[in-house]
Amino acid sequence: MFLAVLVLPTSVFGQSILGSSGLGVRLEPLDAIQRGLGGVGAAIQSTTVLPGDPTASLDLLAPTITFTAQPTLGDYTVDSDEGHFSGTRFPVLGFAFPLGTTSVLTLTMGSHFDQRWSAIVQDSIELGGDRIGITDEFSSDGGISTIRAGWAKRLSPTFAVGTSTGMYMGGLTRSFDRTFSQDSLSVRSPISSFSDVGQWAHSGPVASLNVSWDPSPVVQVAGTIDWSGTIAVEPSGEIERQALNVDAPLEFKVAVTTVLSPAFMVTAGLATANWSDLGEPQIDSVGVGRATTLGAGLEWNIGNFWAGRF
């Protein structure tokens, strides 16, 4: 989400560049069913193991393990600078253990922010009265994952509640290399290249409250409030670097499922959070403000043993 971490001034050296560490590009840890049906992270009628919403697992009849890979590829252009980013290294993992027919325990893990990107910037600086060409190479490898334990219970045939708690954890390694164009030098001795590497560790609490309600036999409404505590971004290594304490916002999610017929089901969802006041001016100044996600999907049950999702 915070693509602004890629906006790096070309006239400063690696020490100050590596001292500017954000959270990265936000990745919603959705399982394959949610992704295929346009889900936003709140329970829908298709039973699954969903990070942050254990009510989605209430109808499972046996212990269940899920595994979902979620690669993300993208390019960016900022003025004359271009680059690419990719993620994520860690898949979405889920485990659900039913407690009878009305309760369930869940354990999930998945990527939440990703900072895998690289960029090359070419410019020139003045040195000894001459303009010297330079090439700056930036690379970032790391991200933040969440691990959660959840519990949900069906209080009646049409109403269920759930909660989950866990923590953010992750790491980040950034490198900066500057090389000088030897063709533009008027001196005999070449100028040595400059390199620097910085490392950070991430941690912080996360929790959610969840409800699921069936106002009619063909409609299900689910809601989730995701709370995040302060995410600590702590530098490691011998060189002193900048630390951050980011106050991630509340996120509100709602999903509606409507059964049109025994073979067709329609889902729609909305998630929103205000990322404009995170407690760190350097991030707030380039933040995206309020971010809202809309999704919809159609499930077509063709037979008893397989289904198509669009």
Reduce the secondary structure of 155-201 to three states and give it as a string.
EECCEEEEEEEEEEEEEEEEEEEEEECHHHCCCCCCCCCEEEEEEEE
Degrees (nearest 5) of the Cα angle 295, 299, 302?
165
Beta bridge partners of 200: 172, 235
Q: How far is CA 97 from the centre of its chain?
A: 26
308 pLDDT band, cuts 50/70/90, is very low
SS3 36: helix
pLDDT digits (tens, 9 = 90+) for 188-245: 567 778 888 888 899 999 999 999 999 999 999 999 999 999 999 888 877 777 788 8
Question: Which residue did the predictor score with more confidence, 85 or 277?
Answer: 277
Conformation bin of residue 289: beta by default, left when phi > 0, alpha when psi is -120 to 50: left
> Binning pLDDT at 50, 70 and 90, where does residue 66 land?
very high
Look at residue 10 in the predicted model and tell me its pLDDT. 33
Q: What is residue 184's predicted lDDT score, i.e. its pLDDT?
A: 58
For residues 151 and 54, is the Cβ–Cβ distance under 8 A?
Answer: yes
Return the pLDDT at 121: 86
pLDDT at 185 over 60: no
Q: What local confidence, expressed as pLDDT, does residue 129 receive?
A: 73
Tokens coding 144: 């933040």
Kindly indicate the confidence band of residue 6, based on its pLDDT and cuts at 50, 70 and 90: very low
Largest CA distance in the chain: 83
Phi then psi for residue 284, to 5 deg, are: -60, -35
What's the predicted TM-score (pTM) here? 0.77
Q: Cα–chain-centroid distance for residue 231?
A: 13
Question: Mean pLDDT score of the chain, rounded to an integer?
Answer: 81
Of these ranges, 5-19, 96-110, 284-298, the one predicted with the greatest mean pLDDT is 96-110
Query: Do the beta carbons of residue 195 and residue 176 sit within 8 Å?
Result: yes
Dist. CA 70–CA 31, nearest whole Å: 8
d(CA 246, CA 241): 16
Question: For residues 200 and 107, which has the higher predicted lDDT (pLDDT)?
Answer: 107
Task: List pLDDT tens digits, range 41-64.
Answer: 888 888 899 999 999 999 999 999
Task: Tell me if residue 119 falls in helix, strand or coil.
Answer: strand
